[in-house]
């Protein structure tokens, strides 16, 4: 006697998601950040993109915080030479029909840190949120953080050796005694 099994319309989608995860992890590696996903399966956590650049003499940090309420869910601190942007992202998706109700909720905290140059006055730092983008300006920090070029010295005390194709022995580089 054959048993009847119920076919889930989501099983094919879940299988496809698993296969795509395996493909992407095989190419790029696993980042290790997990959050709830389809059918309770873990997916990757959200981490806001951050750009750090200088504008005139200021250091500017821009974070893409679309979908995050800056008044309730974002905290910016400057402590021990590090600017930290912490927050929580909340997402809720409701879908209602005549015979069904579906709601997906996801949330999680994030933190991004940017090292600050010495001599920055935390009281002068300003932050503005506009159209989903947080911009933090650290005045005069670009002048403080002038880059110093560090020369690389070549140590030629050790003879260099090259390795040949499979099966051949390494040989001394040209100019070395055999």
Contacts by 149-155, CB closer than 8 A, 24 or more apart: none
Which residue shows structure tokens 């496809």? Answer: 16
User: Could you report the per-residue pLDDT of 100-149, keeping only the tens digit for each?
Assistant: 888 877 778 889 999 988 888 899 999 999 999 999 999 987 665 556 78
CATH of the domain at 134: 2.60.40.790
Distance separating alpha carbons of residues 62 and 22, to the nearest angstrom: 32
Tell me, yes or no, whether 171 lies in a domain.
no
Among the ranges given (8-12, 86-90, 94-98), the one the predictor scored with the smallest mean pLDDT:
8-12
pLDDT of residue 171: 55
Count of CB atoms within 10 A of residue 140's CB?
16
Distance separating alpha carbons of residues 47 and 33, to the nearest angstrom: 10
What total of structural domains would you count in the chain? 1
Tell me, yes or no, whether 178 lies in a domain.
no
Question: Looking at residues 153-162, what average pLDDT do you find?
Answer: 71
Which residue shows structure tokens 């099966």? Answer: 167
Tell me, yes or no, whether 76 lies in a domain.
yes
Q: What phi and psi, each to the nearest 5 degrees, are found at residue 118?
A: -65, 150
Distance separating alpha carbons of residues 60 and 50, to the nearest angstrom: 10
- Split at pLDDT 50, 70, 90, the class of 39 is very low
Give the containing element (helix H, strand E) for 75.
Answer: strand 74-79
Tell me, yes or no, whether 151 lies in a domain.
no
Tell me, yes or no, whether 116 lies in a domain.
yes
Residue range of the domain that includes 77: 47-144
Tell me the two tokens of residue 50.
């951050």
User: Could you report the per-residue pLDDT of 54-95, keeping only the tens digit for each?
Assistant: 888 899 999 999 888 889 999 999 998 899 999 998 777 888
């Amino acid at each position: 006697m054959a048993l009847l099994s119920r076919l889930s319309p989501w099983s094919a989608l879940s299988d496809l998601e698993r296969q795509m995860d395996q493909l992407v992890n095989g190419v790029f590696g696993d980042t290790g950040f997990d959050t709830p996903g389809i059918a309770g399966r873990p997916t990757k956590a959200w981490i806001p993109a951050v750009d750090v650049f200088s504008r005139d003499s200021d250091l500017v940090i821009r974070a893409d915080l679309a979908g995050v309420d800056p008044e309730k869910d974002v905290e910016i601190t400057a402590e021990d030479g590090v600017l930290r942007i912490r927050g929580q992202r909340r997402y809720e998706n409701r879908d209602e029909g005549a015979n069904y109700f579906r709601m997906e909720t996801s949330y999680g905290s994030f933190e991004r840190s940017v090292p600050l140059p010495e001599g920055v006055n935390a009281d002068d730092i300003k932050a503005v949120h506009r159209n989903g983008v947080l911009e933090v300006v650290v005045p005069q920090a670009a002048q403080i953080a002038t880059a110093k070029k560090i020369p690389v010295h070549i140590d030629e005390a050790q003879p260099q050796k090259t390795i040949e194709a499979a099966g051949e022995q390494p040989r001394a580089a040209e100019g070395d005694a055999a």
